[in-house]
Amino acid sequence: MAFISPSRRLRRTPFSQGVEAAGVKAYTVYNHMLLPTVFESIEADYHHLKNHVQVWDVSVERQVELRGPDAAKLMQMLTPRDLRGMLPGRCFYVPIVDETGGMLNDPVAVKLAEDRWWISIADSDLLLWVKGIANGYRLDVLVDEPDVSPLAVQGPKADDLVARVFGDAVREIRFFRFGIFEFEGRDLAIARSGYSKQGGYEIYVSGSDIAMPLWDTLFAAGADLNVRAGCPNAIERIEGGLLSYGNDMTDDNTPHECGLGRFCDTQTAIGCIGRDALLRVAKEGPVQQIRAIAIDGDAVPTCDRAWPLFADGRRVGQVTSAMWSPDYATNVAIGMVRMTHWDSGTALEVETPDGMRGAVVQPGFWL
């Protein structure tokens, strides 16, 4: 494995000091910022995440803030999900599409108030698209990246840990809702959300100055819970079918191809820039779609590029994420498969760097 060369352009986060002290071994780069990928080992981190509680520096989920009278109008222009019924205090997973219906990002929209939103983004400079649209349509809205860095607390003991620091009221937060809680005199949004299936919270840390104090407070409070520094886990997120923008989907794909049709209200999302392009695919369905795929044999090599999927020698799709799963004793994978071969149980072949292997379309993801 090669090293990563540090530079200011690969931005550190307000928690980097804690991440380094915890012995981070590897990073990826996400939104021009460092995202830890390994602490002890991917497998050890995986088992720990499923049994205890981890604190994740996910500052890379940068916020695009919309403020002003046209904020809600702009937010609806960005996504085919109908936002009319969304109340302040809610988080919505929103596909963001361009005028062709191609995915530009798959963020979580956080509605702070009618005229104030955060878009908690996946890995693309969505800020530039939103600023371009706001400028071109002459909307009355400010678009910016505020000093907000999410810190996730994930794992079966996440409720206990966060309650110790913020009080038992956090236990009442429902899935994809958020409440405002105080830390060192600062009001922080805490949502029940996160990029794992183990449960937990994302704390939107406003102000870099309180980042390390909060990090240290969580670790001090959780010593007997076996709290550790962690990060999104490559195995667990595939088991759970959590897609990764740039890995499992790109701007070539529509939300429907990504299995996100349930987040598209194409008929009623009036104003969405990609609406016209998506009307037909919403009606007729996509010709390829994301599937859970099991790959035969022992642990697959690192999936650092698309692996072609074949049936009877004909290309029918590709695998874009794959890892050996200790808990399911198989290679778990995410792929895009053509409709002729996407039914559960279909036997395929996948071309990996160490040769062809059998693969089977699954009825759903593992978790």
How many whole angstroms separate alpha carbon 283 and alpha carbon 248? 23
Separation of CA 164 from chain center: 26
DSSP 8-class letter at 174? P
Contact between 247 and a copy of itself by CB under 8 A: the answer reads yes
Of 43-51, 118-126, 162-170, 194-202: span binding a copy of itself (CB under 8 A): 118-126
Q: Give the per-residue contact string, 160-199, with a copy of itself (x = CB under 8 A; - = no).
A: ----------------------------------------
How many whole angstroms separate alpha carbon 64 and alpha carbon 110? 10
Print burial letters for 330-362: b (CB count within 10 Å at least 16), e (below 16). Answer: bbbbbbbbbeebbeeebebbbbbeeeebebebb
Of 171-179, 304-312, 337-345, 359-367: span binding a copy of itself (CB under 8 A): 304-312
Contact between 352 and a copy of itself by CB under 8 A: the answer reads no
Give the one residue of 97, 121, 141, 273 binding a copy of itself; rule: CB under 8 A: 273
Q: Please, which residue, 170 or 272, has the CB nearer to a copy of itself?
A: 272
Give the one residue of 40, 125, 327, 351 binding a copy of itself; rule: CB under 8 A: 125
Contact between 28 and a copy of itself by CB under 8 A: the answer reads yes
Contact between 84 and a copy of itself by CB under 8 A: the answer reads no
Q: How far is the CB of 55 from a copy of itself (least distance, A)?
A: 18
- Cβ proximity of 287 and 256 under 8 Å: no
**Is 79 in a helix, a strand, or coil?**
coil
Q: How far is the CB of 175 from a copy of itself (least distance, A)?
A: 27
Print burial letters for 190-207: b (CB count within 10 Å at least 16), e (below 16). Answer: bbbbbbbbbbbbbbbbbe
Q: How far is the CB of 320 from a copy of itself (least distance, A)?
A: 5
List Cβ neighbours of 102 (8 Å cut-off, separation of 6 or more).
Answer: 250, 251, 252, 253, 254, 274
How many whole angstroms separate alpha carbon 281 and alpha carbon 20? 46
Contact between 39 and a copy of itself by CB under 8 A: the answer reads no
Give the one residue of 98, 115, 160, 296 binding a copy of itself; rule: CB under 8 A: 98
Find tokens 């085919």 and name the residue: 80
Give the one residue of 22, 24, 161, 242 binding a copy of itself; rule: CB under 8 A: 24
Q: Name residues contacting a copy of itself, limited to 206-235 (CB under 8 A).
A: 234
Binding site for a copy of itself (CB under 8 A): 1-10, 12, 24-29, 32, 37-38, 98-99, 104, 123-126, 128-137, 234, 244-247, 273, 302-306, 320-321
